[in-house]
Amino acid sequence: MYHLYKYAVLFVFSIVLGFAFNMFLLPHEVLSGGVTGIAMIFGLLSPINSGIWLVILNIPVFMIGWMKLGKEFIANSVFSVFVTSMSMQYIPVMKVTDDALLSAVFGGVIVGVSIGFIVRFYGSTGGADIIGLVVTKKYDMPLGVLIFVINSVVVFISGFFFSWELALYTMASIYITGVVIDRVHTRHVKLSLMVVTNKGEELKDELIANLIRGITVMNGYGAYSNNENKVLYTVITRYELALAIIDQCQ
C-alpha cells in the first residue's frame, strides 16, 4: 500500500514539475538549475523538446546514483524523470503571465514544492538533486543550499545564451526553489527519538538496519507497571522518522 502511495505522489508532483517548467519558466526563457537547466537551454536552442534532453543528460547522473544511493532511489528517480519528460511533451509551452519576474517567483515555488515532495518520498529529478543527496548523505548539509550552489553555473550559461536580465530571473527562481525544498524536505532537521520497549534487541536491530544510526540502549523501570524495559535513544532527522514509522507499519 505504501509503495502505491509513494508512486502516486511521485507521479503527481512530477507532472506538476513539468507544468511549472512549461507554463512559468520556459515561456520567459527562465531556467531551472543543474542538468534540468541545461536540458532547458538545449530545448530552447534546438528543435528537440527539453523533456527529451532531460532524459538523455540524466543517464550518466543515474549511473553515479546507482553506485552511491541504491537501486530503489534510482528506480524512483527514473520514474520521476520519465513522467516529467512525458508531461513536458504534452503540456503546451505557454505564458500564464507576461511578467517574467512573477513567472520566476511562482515557477520557483512550484518547482521547489514538487522537488521537495519527490525527494521526501525517496526520489529525485536527477541532475543536481542526485549530486546534492550524495553530498548531504555524507556531510549532512541542507539540500537546498547545496543545489543552489551547484545550479549557479546555469545562471552564467543563461546570461551568455539569452540575456543577463533573464539570468538574474533564473538566479531568483533557483534561490526560491532551494528555500522551498528545504522547507518541504527537512532532511537536515534533527529530532531526538526515545523508545521504551520490552523488545529491545529486536527493535534495536530494526532501527540500525533501516536508519544506519548509532543507538544508546539503557535499562528502564516502569513506575506504574513495575516492569523492566529497554530504553533506546538516538538522534535522527524528520525524514528518517517517517521512514522508521513506515517500516514498522509494513
Task: Give the pLDDT of residue 249.
Answer: 46
Task: Give the pLDDT of residue 41.
Answer: 85
Task: Give the pLDDT of residue 152.
Answer: 73
How many whole angstroms from its chain centre is CA 69? 13
Could you list the residue range(s) of the whole structural domain that residue 47 is in? 2-185
Least confident of 152-161, 188-197, 206-215: 206-215
Question: Mean pLDDT: which of 90-94, 136-140, 183-187, 192-196 is highest?
Answer: 90-94
Same domain? 115 vs 219: no
Instruction: Report which of residues 188 and 21 the model is more confident about.
Output: 21
- Across all residues in the chain, what is the average pLDDT? 80
Instruction: Report which of residues 241 and 34 the model is more confident about.
Output: 34
Provide the pLDDT confidence category of residue 225 given band limits of 50, 70 and 90.
confident
Same domain? 23 vs 87: yes
Same domain? 165 vs 240: no
Same domain? 14 vs 100: yes
Same domain? 65 vs 97: yes
Q: Is the pTM above the cut of 0.85? A: no
Task: Give the pLDDT of residue 21.
Answer: 92
Q: Which of 164, 185, 206 is the last residue of a domain?
A: 185
The whole-number average pLDDT for the span 72-84 is 88
Same domain? 85 vs 166: yes
Same domain? 74 vs 195: no
Per residue in 102-148, pLDDT tens? Answer: 999 999 999 999 988 888 887 888 777 677 767 766 666 666 676 66
Task: Give the pLDDT of residue 121.
Answer: 82
Provide the pLDDT confidence category of residue 24 given band limits of 50, 70 and 90.
very high
Same domain? 72 vs 141: yes
Task: Give the pLDDT of residue 231.
Answer: 86
Same domain? 12 vs 131: yes
Same domain? 58 vs 95: yes
Instruction: Report which of residues 228 and 85 the model is more confident about.
Output: 85
Per residue in 11-22, pLDDT tens? Answer: 999 999 999 999
Same domain? 176 vs 210: no
Same domain? 137 vs 163: yes
